[in-house]
């Protein structure tokens, strides 16, 4: 036991004197988790507020005048329903259809059992919120009539037919746009992190970097060659992971027609091209950042250790998108990584513009250029190349 304690105390001392390791292992996780939950909490609250305060477009047929005051104009914008296909109408307008049987109030007064039909899009947050509001109003109406006219509290008063459309493609798009940007970034980062330290810091550790630097090749060409190699491998790895996710999500969500959910049908060729371009841009930034860290580090182990906090920061930025469907201001897409994730999210939620894609690409290429230039400067630094 004494020997074990001696060994343990030596390991703890080694951990304690390595301030970087101490920070990344002990302090950073707590700080990051607090930051993630703090930011996520605020984002969720903002989004809930936005939905609950939105106005529902309500298409009505045979709405009795006496019931009109139940629909607060601040929450409902009432239009008349003109016999359109209900599913198409609620899908396109994000609204709700409410159809009262002709002579609804008269039938109630006569002790009849009239019907009211409600249609909304269950896979759309705005329409779904509108449907809930209307159901709440109908419940209130039922209770009021029961209290005024009947002693049988179980009496149904009127028939309520509710149709909540569930568009599987929309559900697929909503869920995929929420989690896939996060997964893509994690996959790319993990892939880059598994190879970049070896490709750059490993050259230093093995003593092969100086061998290459005495050749006539320029530092810029050397840095670019390294970054391109890491990019290609990271992309291949991320692509493989992405395919796995895309294939497994329909099964995971147990969509009724999972076999027929075709990603190309949902997003179209232009959506897939936009997605590919933005993923490529994102990969370049991540690879650039890890390359800078790897060029600075003395060894593979140090590079991996230094990149860990960046990994966590990237995950936090990505996690913010779980509750977003694309940046509201296109200029925000110019923020490296944040913009990439916003646009990936937007493409997957089918809510993007080519301007935003181009902004992300331009911003990413510029950032990657700066990072490659930084790697070049670092490889020109005697202190960094020869540090032991």
Query: Least distance to other proteins from the beta carbon of 212, Å?
Result: 7
Please report, as residue ranges, which positions from 217 to 276 form the binding site for other proteins (by CB under 8 A). Answer: 217-218
Please report, as residue ranges, which positions from 168 to 207 form the binding site for other proteins (by CB under 8 A). Answer: 206-207
The residue among 222 and 267 lying less far from other proteins, judged by its C-beta, is 222
What is the edge-to-edge ordering of all strands in the sheet holding 96-100?
Answer: 76-80, 56-61, 96-100, 115-121, 159-165
Query: Least distance to other proteins from the beta carbon of 209, Å?
Result: 9
Query: Least distance to other proteins from the beta carbon of 382, Å?
Result: 5
Note whether 386 binds other proteins by CB under 8 A: yes
Query: Least distance to other proteins from the beta carbon of 213, Å?
Result: 6
**Number of other CB atoms surrounding residue 196 within 10 Å:** 32
The residue among 94 and 205 lying less far from other proteins, judged by its C-beta, is 205
The first and second tokens of residue 212, run together, are 């290459």
Query: Least distance to other proteins from the beta carbon of 283, Å?
Result: 24
Please report, as residue ranges, which positions from 364 to 383 form the binding site for other proteins (by CB under 8 A). Answer: 382-383
State the number of binding residues for other proteins (CB under 8 A).
16
Please report, as residue ranges, which positions from 204 to 223 form the binding site for other proteins (by CB under 8 A). Answer: 206-208, 210-218
Nearest C-alpha neighbor of 309 from the set 25, 13, 73: 25
Residue with tokens 């291949």: 236
Outline where the chain has alpha helix (H): 2-17, 19-22, 28-52, 86-93, 104-109, 125-149, 168-196, 202-206, 209-213, 219-252, 263-296, 300-319, 338-348, 354-380, 382-386
Residue with tokens 């590919």: 276
Which residues touch 219 (CB under 8 Å, ≥6 apart)? 213, 376, 377, 379, 380
Query: Least distance to other proteins from the beta carbon of 310, Å?
Result: 24
- Whether residue 100 contacts residue 174, with contact meaning beta carbons closer than 8 Å, is answered with no
Query: Least distance to other proteins from the beta carbon of 11, Å?
Result: 22
Note whether 17 binds other proteins by CB under 8 A: no
DSSP assignment string, 39-92: HHHHHHHHHHHHHHTSPEEEEEES--GGGGGGS-TTTEEEEE--S--HHHHHHH
81's torsion region: left (phi>0), alpha (psi -120 to 50) or beta? beta
The residue among 148 and 382 lying less far from other proteins, judged by its C-beta, is 382
List residues binding other proteins (CB under 8 A).
206-208, 210-218, 382-383, 385-386
């Amino acid at each position: 036991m004494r020997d074990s304690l001696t060994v343990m105390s030596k390991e703890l001392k080694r951990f304690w004197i390595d301030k970087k390791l101490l920070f990344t292992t002990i302090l950073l996780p707590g700080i990051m988790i607090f930051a993630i939950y703090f930011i996520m909490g605020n984002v969720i609250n903002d989004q809930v507020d936005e939905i609950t305060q939105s106005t529902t477009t309500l298409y009505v047929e045979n709405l009795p005048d006496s019931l009109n005051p139940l629909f607060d104009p601040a929450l409902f914008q009432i239009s008349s329903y003109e016999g359109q296909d209900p599913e198409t109408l609620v899908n396109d307008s994000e609204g709700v259809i409410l159809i009262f049987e002709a002579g609804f109030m008269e039938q109630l007064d006569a002790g009849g059992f009239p019907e009211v039909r409600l249609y909304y899009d269950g896979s759309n947050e705005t329409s779904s919120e509108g449907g809930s509001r209307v159901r709440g109003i109908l419940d209130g109406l039922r209770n009021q009539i029961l209290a005024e006219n009947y002693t049988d509290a179980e009496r149904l008063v009127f028939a309520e037919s509710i149709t909540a459309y569930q568009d599987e493609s929309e559900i697929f798009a909503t869920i995929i746009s929420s989690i896939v940007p996060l997964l893509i970034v994690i996959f790319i980062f993990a892939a880059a992190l598994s190879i970049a330290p070896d490709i750059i810091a490993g050259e230093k550790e093995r003593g092969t970097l100086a061998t290459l630097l005495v050749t006539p090749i320029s530092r810029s060409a050397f840095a670019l060659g390294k970054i391109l190699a890491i990019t290609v491998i990271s992309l291949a790895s991320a692509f493989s992971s992405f395919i796995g996710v895309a294939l497994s999500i329909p099964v995971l969500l147990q969509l009724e027609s999972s076999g027929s959910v075709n990603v190309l049908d949902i997003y179209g060729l232009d959506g897939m091209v936009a997605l590919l371009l933005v993923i490529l841009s994102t990969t370049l930034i991540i690879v650039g950042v890890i390359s800078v860290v790897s060029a600075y580090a003395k060894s593979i182990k140090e590079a991996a250790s230094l990149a860990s906090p960046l990994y966590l920061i990237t995950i936090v930025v990505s996690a913010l998108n779980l509750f977003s469907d694309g940046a509201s201001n296109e200029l925000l897409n110019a923020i490296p990584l944040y913009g990439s994730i916003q646009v990936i999210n937007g493409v997957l939620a089918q809510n993007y513009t080519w301007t935003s894609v181009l902004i992300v690409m331009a911003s990413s290429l510029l950032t990657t250029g700066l990072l490659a230039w930084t790697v070049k400067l670092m490889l020109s630094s005697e202190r960094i190349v020869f540090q032991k």
